[in-house]
Amino acid sequence: MKLFIDTANLSEIEQAASLGVIDGVTTNPSLLAKEGASLKQTIEKICQLVDGPISAEVNSEKAEEMLAEADELASLHKNVVIKLPLTQEGLKACQKLSAKNIKTNVTLVFSPNQALLAAKSGATYVSPFVGRLDDQGHEGMLLIEEIRRIFDLYGFNTQILSASIRHPNHVRMSALSGAHVATIPFKVLNQMYQHPLTTHGLEIFRKDFLSQQK
Ligand code: G3P
């Protein structure tokens, strides 16, 4: 299973990359706005920090305009993945980019049928938003399971990228539900390696080690 970091904050990306467990990065317009950062400059910098798929999202509504944006973004670095919304126009653009072997990430996916359409359009990744579904009283993880079942039944190569992850249990459940990738906020990544029993156990080991040095 691959782990991506879901942020446009360069310091967070650098720290996460130093752990050696990060395979790629996802960004979106909201994450960029939070940093007050420009899309192209930020993507270029991220590509220097992480050698893996880096998702950069288009902002146009029409397929032709998305494709023009995609050309510019894809020319920044070989690792750039074009993130497109799950709309009619996004699917048209996805199909055209797939035909040109440009990697795509179809985002804002909330149903198995949307994921099926993205896979039919040749998407490299499909991003179901588990946290936002949970927020609405639905079960985000069921969506991951159903998409995985459909993709396995028909042999689609599209990878399921579990997104909108809010806490470590979303990562655990994404792994158990068959997501190929989870994209994780920096805070959640840090929560994943912490455990009170690890901290407590280490304190005891240190104390016992020091008592032997006397
Ligand atoms: O990258 C998209 C996604 O992870 C958004 O998460 O927390 O805004 O629902 P959130």
Question: Which residue lies with its CA nearest to atom 9 of ligand 1?
Answer: 164
Query: Which of the 8 DSSP states describes residue 156?
Result: -
Residue to substitute in 3, 4, 6, 143 for testing ligand 1 pocket (most ligand atoms within 8 angstroms of CB): 6
For residue 132, give the ligand 1 atom closest to its CA.
Answer: 9
pLDDT at 214: 78
pLDDT at 90: 98
pLDDT in tens, 24-76: 999 999 999 999 989 999 999 999 999 999 999 999 999 999 999 999 999 99
Across residues 125-149, what is the average pLDDT? Answer: 98
Cα(45)–Cα(35) distance, integer angstroms: 13
Catalytic residues: 83
Distance from Cα 99 to the centre of ligand 1, integer Å: 28
pLDDT at 37: 87
The answer to whether the CB of 26 is under 6 A from ligand 1 is yes
Cα(33)–Cα(59) distance, integer angstroms: 13
The answer to whether the CB of 52 is under 6 A from ligand 1 is no
pLDDT at 84: 98
pLDDT in tens, 154-201: 999 999 999 999 999 999 999 999 999 999 999 999 999 999 999 999
Cα(49)–Cα(121) distance, integer angstroms: 30
Average pLDDT of the chain, as a whole number = 98
Across residues 105-133, what is the average pLDDT? Answer: 98
**pTM across the whole model:** 0.96
* Banded pLDDT at 144 (limits 50, 70, 90): very high
pLDDT at 59: 97
